[in-house]
Amino acid sequence: MRQMILTQVLAPGADLDEASLSARWNLSRTPLRDMLRQLAGEGYVEIRENRGARVAEMSHTTLRSFFQAAPMIYGAILRLAAENATPLQIAELKAAQAHFKDMLENGDVAARALANNRFHEVTGQMAANPYLLPSFQRLLIDHARISMTFYGAAGPEAHSTRSKASAQHDQIIAAIEARDAKAAADLAVAHWNLSRDRIEQFVMPAGLDMALGTAGG
C-alpha cells in the first residue's frame, strides 16, 4: 500500500474502497481499518468522517508547503545525521546508495524513486530526532510521489541531472562518515536545488514557482 501510494499507482486524492482493498489483500474490515488508521498517522492517507479514506492529496496548498519546508528539513536531517550516525547505519546508507545506482541503470521509474526514497529514509534514522523525524517522513511521501517525474524524464539533460544526484549521494555519505555536519547540511541544499527546478517544471501550478523563488536556499 505504501509503495502504491509513493509510486502513484494510487493517485493523490483517490478514494479507497474498503471492499476492494479487503478482497485484494484477503483482509477483514477490522484489520483493514487498523491498517488505514496507521497509514493515516504516517501521512499516506486521509480518513474523512462518514466518507471513508482517500490517498493523501497533493494540492496547490500542500505543494506550496512542501517546497517551502523541504530545504530546511533536509538540511536539519543531514546535519544531525553527520553528528549521530552509527557505523551500522553508515553501512546501511552505503548499501542503499549501491541499490540506487543499480536502479538508475537498470530499474524502471518507480524503482528509481523508491531507491532514492530509501536512501533518504536511512538519513532520517541517522538523525534520531523524535521531533523532526515525523515531519521528514511526511515530506518523503510527497517527494517520492513528485519525483516520479524527475526519474521518468528522458534525454541527455535528465540523465546528467540524475547522475549528479547520485554523485551528491556519495558526497553526503562522505560528509556523514567524516562527521562534517556543516558540509552535510550544505549538501542537503545543493541536492535539493538540483532536483527542484526540474520537478517544478512538471508539477508546480502556474505562478506558484514565483512565490517560492527563494525556497531552495
With CA atoms as reference, report the closest residue to 88 among 174, 169, 177, 168. 177
For the stretch 23-55, pLDDT in tens is 988 989 899 999 999 999 999 999 988 788 999
pLDDT of 216 reads 38
- Arithmetic mean of pLDDT, 82-94: 98
Report the alpha-carbon distance of residue 147 to residue 57 in Å, rounded. Answer: 15
pLDDT of 201 reads 59
pLDDT of 157 reads 85
- Arithmetic mean of pLDDT, 68-88: 96
Q: Write the CATH number of the domain with boundaries 61-211.
A: 1.20.120.530
- How far is CA 184 from each of CA 34, 127, 204, rounded to the nearest angstrom? 38, 12, 27
With CA atoms as reference, report the closest residue to 75 among 192, 195, 169. 192
Average pLDDT, the chain: 89
| Domain ranges (residues) in the chain | 2-55, 61-211
Give the 3-state secondary structure of the chain.
CHHHHHCCCCCCCCEECHHHHHHHHCCCHHHHHHHHHHHHHHCCEEEECCCEEEECCCCHHHHHHHHHHHHHHHHHHHHHHHHHCCHHHHHHHHHHHHHHHHHHHHCCHHHHHHHHHHHHHHHHHHHCCCCCHHHHHHHHHHHHHHHHHHHHCCCHHHHHHHHHHHHHHHHHHHHHHCCCHHHHHHHHHHHHHHHHHHHHHHHCCCCHHHHCCCCCC
pLDDT of 150 reads 83
Q: Write the CATH number of the domain with boundaries 2-55.
A: 1.10.10.10
Bridge partners of 15, per DSSP, are 54
